[in-house]
Amino acid sequence: MFKGKTYIITGIADKHSLAMYVAKEIIKNKGKVICTGLGVSSFHKNLSERAQAFLNQSYQHFEDSVEAELGKDVETHILDVTLPESINDFCQKLKDKNQPVDGLLHAIAMDKTIRNKKVKPLLEVNFDEFCETMQVSAFSLVSLIANLKAFDLLNPGSSICSLSYIVAQKVTFHPYRNISIAKAALERITIELADELGRQNGTRVNCVRFSPYLGSKAGTATLNSSDVEFAGQKSPLGNAHPQDLAYEVAHLLVPDMRITGEIRHVDGGYNIMG
């Protein structure tokens, strides 16, 4: 299905990350993946010891997980989407290797207004917190694609998929605030890019909303088991599994499809429940 195709996979933090399931599915179907993770780069300046230790630990977990789950031959890179220089450097490295890509999975999100499973009310979110969440969780899709195109790395007919959540549309059982706005922006960006890129070189852009998931670091930072249980009880089929997501994303990445601008649901039917 993906023989001869190469996809960038962002958002792997450990072996339980949703992006890891997608990467495995691509490899299972004869595709190649290039994985990116957060780590210390030459573009990080004046980092505190705590920040440097966090980034080093994050990258070590990322690399160890990729090697253990995907194999030693899988290419990995540091990528910090808050630093334009980091995005540029990543693309330059691909260009130097003459490695164009056939698409990417955008699975990056960040919201510092969520601490210890407590969500700051929107009226208490400051401008910097709002913009930082928007940059990482939404605009990074634009900046990544723009740089890939600038370096002539995005093959015609490529496919791009991002991960979202029902909070982009509805106030739900878990009261996301700041990041829900960023997810809504991500979905709108998906639709606009589907139009622009489809007309430019036939590239498709889609988004998938997934069930609440405690297996990932993002999930454990924001959700409680009661949140997941509630969604599972409300959903006609119960919560979706990570492999369900992997199947759907792989389907959207299949070459020569005519599906674009879609906001898909892989949530056991939770989205239909009002």
Ranges of H-type helices in the chain: 18-28, 49-70, 84-96, 127-134, 140-150, 178-201, 217-222, 225-234, 242-253
> For residue 137, is pLDDT > 70?
yes
Pairing assessment for the beta strands 114-115 and 118-119 based on DSSP bridges: antiparallel
Instruction: State residue 49's pLDDT score.
Output: 85
- Cα dihedral value 138, 107, 162, 25, nearest 10: 170
**Which structural domain, as residue segments, surrounds residue 176?**
6-269
Q: Evaluate whether residue 274 is within a structural domain.
A: no
| Half-sphere CA count of 187, side-chain side, radius 13 A | 17
Structure tokens at 163: 């991960």
Is residue 151 within 8 Å of residue 95, measured between CB atoms?
yes
Ranking 16-25, 169-178, 206-215 by mean pLDDT, the lowest is: 169-178
Count of structural domains, the chain = 1
Cα separation of 54 and 137, whole Å? 19
Instruction: State residue 221's pLDDT score.
Output: 64
Is residue 60 within 8 Å of residue 40, measured between CB atoms?
no
pTM to 2 decimal places? 0.93
Instruction: State residue 198's pLDDT score.
Output: 97
Q: Evaluate whether residue 181 is within a structural domain.
A: yes
DSSP-derived 3-state class of residue 175: coil
> For residue 165, is pLDDT > 70?
yes
> For residue 40, is pLDDT > 80?
yes
CATH number for the domain spanning 193: value is: 3.40.50.720
What percent of the chain shows pLDDT beyond 90?
A: 77
Is residue 168 within 8 Å of residue 187, measured between CB atoms?
yes
The better pLDDT of the pair 176, 98 is held by 98
Ranking 76-90, 164-178, 193-207 by mean pLDDT, the lowest is: 164-178
Q: At which residue do the structure tokens 């334009």 appear?
A: 84
Is residue 91 within 8 Å of residue 22, measured between CB atoms?
no
**DSSP state for residue 124 in the 8-state scheme:** G
List the one residue out of 159, 160, 158, 176 whose CA is nearest residue 168.
Answer: 176
Q: Evaluate whether residue 115 is within a structural domain.
A: yes
Is residue 174 within 8 Å of residue 167, measured between CB atoms?
yes
Q: Evaluate whether residue 199 is within a structural domain.
A: yes
Q: Evaluate whether residue 1 is within a structural domain.
A: no
Q: Evaluate whether residue 162 is within a structural domain.
A: yes
